[in-house]
């Protein structure tokens, strides 16, 4: 029985999972929103919320815990972004820093895809969806 077993294995080894979530978390911190599969997004949500909580501490130990979980050369950069940009935005919030928005299934393998993004933080690049463009064109023709 699978009682009291937390987390998903995602059909990967432990080291592969560690690298996967490190890279996904770094991408989310840099871009403020990313598109990934539902299972990865649900696991990433708990991973990134822990990092934001460490960043809210604002001490050296919190910074080192972040750098320990974001492997590679980007650790210091990601820690700085988390501590100086993202953590102050969530100073009054106790948790729930991210949201998961379900999207359509992926075309090639029909995998369920979601958009994970930070709540109350605007992404650097604003994207216009195809639906908004279509609505504007319809509005112009009616006049």
Range of the domain at 44: 14-118
pTM of the model: 0.82
CATH of the domain at 100: 3.90.1030.10
Tens of pLDDT, residues 28-81 = 999 999 999 999 999 999 999 999 999 999 999 999 999 999 988 889 999 999
Cα angle for residues 44, 128, 111 (degrees, 5° grid): 40
Split into its structural domains, the chain has a count of 1
| Confidence at 90, pLDDT banded by 50, 70, 90 | very high
Does residue 9 carry a pLDDT above 70?
yes
Residue 9 lies in a domain: no
Residue 130 lies in a domain: no
Residue 18 lies in a domain: yes
């Amino acid at each position: 029985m699978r009682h009291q077993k937390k987390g998903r294995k995602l059909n990967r080894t432990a080291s592969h999972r560690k690298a996967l979530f490190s890279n996904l978390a770094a991408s989310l911190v840099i871009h403020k929103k990313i598109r990934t599969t539902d299972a990865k997004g649900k696991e990433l949500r708990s991973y990134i919320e822990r990092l934001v909580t460490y960043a809210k501490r604002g001490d050296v130990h919190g910074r080192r815990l972040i750098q320990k979980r974001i492997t590679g050369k980007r650790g210091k950069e990601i820690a700085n972004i988390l501590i100086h940009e993202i953590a102050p935005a969530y100073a009054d919030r106790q948790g729930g820093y991210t949201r998961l928005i379900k999207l359509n299934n992926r075309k090639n393998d029909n995998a369920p895809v979601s958009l994970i993004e930070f709540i109350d933080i605007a992404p650097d690049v604003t994207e216009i969806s195809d639906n908004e463009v279509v609505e504007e064109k319809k509005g112009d023709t009616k006049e």
